[in-house]
Amino acid sequence: MPIHVQIPTALRRFTGGTAAVDCSATTLTELLDDLGRQHPELNRHLRDDNGRLRPFVNVYVNEEDIRFLGGEKYQFHDSDEVMLVPSIAGGCPPAA
């Protein structure tokens, strides 16, 4: 069951420039495991020391936040489009 995973520009330096991967994961845990095997440097940017998805990494399935689809219990479907979106801090300070 292939799903298509978009790798954001901010994380592509850990995937050798790869912008997307296809995999056959059925759960978020399997997806993270697969990405970690394919791109070991990416793993520490997606998971914390306990192996859980880092809180600042958002996962979207077909443009829907996975948290609202059941989170780690969500079962991927054939041809799902997955986007990994790390939160990026910064920006302009408030106007005085």
pLDDT in tens, 15-24: 999 999 999 9
pLDDT per residue as tens digits for the range 80-91 = 999 999 987 655
Widest pairwise Cα distance in the chain: 53
- The CATH code of the domain at 3-86 is 3.10.20.30
Instruction: Report domain extents, the chain.
Output: 3-86
pLDDT digit string, tens, across residues 49-80? 999 999 999 999 999 999 999 988 999 999 99
Owner of token pair 């520009």: 9
pTM score: 0.84
Question: What is the C-alpha separation between 10 and 84, in angstroms, rounded?
Answer: 10
Closest CA to 84 of 29, 36, 27, 46: 46
Given a cut of 80, whether residue 43 has pLDDT beyond it is: yes
The separation between CA 65 and the C-alpha centre of its own chain, rounded to angstroms, equals 11
Burial of 11 (0-12, 13-18, 19+ CB in 10 A): buried
Percent of the chain with pLDDT over 90: 79
